[in-house]
Structure 1
Amino acid sequence: MSKFLSTEIRSSVKVFLSLNFYGYRYDRIIPSPPKDQRQYHTRHVLGHDYIEFLKQYYTASVIVFDSHAHEHITLVYGHSMNGQNAYEGSAPVILIFYPSLKSIYDRLELATKFHVGAAIWDGGQGLDYFFDLF
């Protein structure tokens, strides 16, 4: 893949990096099923859904940046966050992977580095300020 995306190869102009402006929500199944079965239900999260979610769960959620995936993750543990390490070792009840200005910016930098285009998936489903980067 690195050879294909090399800055010296002209075929990179035919490639687009896809940017999704929506997220994914994973709700843990309780009680937990056997380990060989799905542990979470999955669904899409649109911009207005994410804002409403944050309003509802702001006392029980924490947003962290995964520097490996270059993505923000919202974690909900089911109780108010009393301290920074209050839920260390416990599995979150809800996980949301939702784009942020930083995650979009990092992907645009990657597209620039490899001289590829950027394509937005469902731009109207995200938050309006995402377009401030363009």
Structure 2
Amino acid sequence: MLSRFLSLQFKPVEITFIMMWTGAIFFTLLMILKYNYSLYQIIRPVREWPLFVVVFYLGAFSSVLAYFMMNYTLSRLEAARSAVFANLTTVISILAGVVFRGESFYWYQAFGACLIITGIFGTNYFGKMKKGAEELPI
């Protein structure tokens, strides 16, 4: 809700920037408290190259891109409608597991994915019929 409100005043990139720095500062402070202010224990795991690559990928690409897309969506749609589209992450996760990791695809996953997609379609289709629904132009 706060992102939606701020999206009327700020650009999605600006909101994403603030969100990422707020999270970085908060979790860094938690880590400092957890390791009793020991800088060595905080930096030691990141010195290993494979872990550094994973952390950099998750922090720099995945999180920033995901938050930017969320803030962009909130700047174009109302919060309730964009929350409905957030359910697509489950469908995308199932498909990514099957395609990239070779995981099995079961009937109940297909059934659940169909329910999610039907719910998204129904919410958007029948939501347009509702009087008084306002939407920012895309």
Shorter chain as denominator, the TM-score bin is under 0.3
Greater Rg, structure 1 or structure 2?
A: 2
The TM-score, its normalising length taken from structure 1, stands at 0.25
Higher helix share: 2
The TM-score, its normalising length taken from structure 2, stands at 0.25
Higher strand share: 1
